[in-house]
Amino acid sequence: MLVNKKIIMRLLQYKNVLSRLKKLGFIKIFSDNIADSSGTTPAQVRKDFSVYGISGSKRGGYNIDELIIELNKILGKDKITSVIVIGAGNLGAALINYKFFEKENIKIIAGFDIDSKKINESAPTPIYHLDKMAEFIKKNNIRIAVITTPHIAAQQITDTLIEAGIKGILNFSPAQIKGPEEVIIQDIHLQTELESLIYFVNAAKKERP
């Protein structure tokens, strides 16, 4: 499944970077500029564009408005996607209140938790009890869920989510959750990311003390 995740991640990154460069007043842009502000190389940028049939003008670079439109078309960023968050602990609550998503047509419309202290059905983004999750997904036709629960709960919640119709899961729990092939599961292991950073810093220190 994740065959071309890397290229899609880069295209999304280009799109996000271009919006910012546009705000700064850029009208024309070169593969070199894009690469620099996306953390990749000009050759990579041109290659990615080539694969998806995006072309600029030789010598003149790319028109930033046209580029953004083309990327948005490829990336299907035309309609709003509703997302729910399972687990309203520290991380879950943070994501629920994260403002950056809405700009990109992503709307977190509800949170769910098993702890009655966390529940607040009248908040701007309501937090419901886990019991109401399956029904909510079906009623609102939700396809995407974010899991921020502890390890122990993750697989059971995954099963319920998929049963109710969820097709994509962003998993922040350390659990290796499993589902049928057609459901897409992407993991973000915060702990492992931080551990690997520490590893490489220590390794570099050993090399040149």
The answer to whether 111 touches 94, Cβ cutoff 8 Å, is no
- Tell me, residue by residue from 2 to 31, as one string, x for binding to a copy of itself by CB under 8 A and - for no binding: ---x--xx--xx--xx--x-----------
Residues in 60-79 at the binding interface with DNA, rule: CB under 7 A: 60-62
**Strands 106-113, 168-171: pairing kind:** unpaired
| CB 39 to DNA: min, Å | 11
- Return the CA Rg of the chain: 20
In the complex, the smallest distance separating the C-beta of residue 104 from a copy of itself, rounded to whole angstroms, is 6
37 binds a copy of itself (CB under 8 A): yes
Place of tokens 């607040």: 120
Q: Is 203 in the site for DNA (CB under 7 A)?
A: no
User: Which segments within the chain are labelled E, that is strand?
Assistant: 28-29, 62-63, 81-86, 106-113, 127-129, 144-147, 168-171, 184-187
Q: Do 148 and 86 meet the contact criterion of CB atoms below 8 Å apart? A: yes
67 SS3 class: helix
Could you please report the per-residue DSSP string of 25-47? Answer: T-SEE-HHHHHHHHTS-HHHHHH
Interface region with DNA, contact rule CB under 7 A, candidates 4-12, 139-147, 148-156, 199-207: 4-12
Nearest CA to 84 among 181, 177, 160?
160
Q: Residues 46-85 vs a copy of itself: string with x where CB under 8 A?
A: -----------------------------xxx---x-x--
Residue 63 identity (one-letter amino acid): N
Q: Which amino acid is at 57?
A: S
Nearer to a copy of itself, 69 or 94 (CB): 94
Smallest distance, a copy of itself to C-beta of residue 57, A: 25
Residues that bind a copy of itself (CB under 8 A): 1, 5, 8-9, 12-13, 16-17, 20, 36-39, 75-77, 81, 83, 90-91, 93-95, 97-98, 100-101, 104, 106, 143-144, 146, 151, 167-170, 174, 176, 182, 184, 186-205, 208
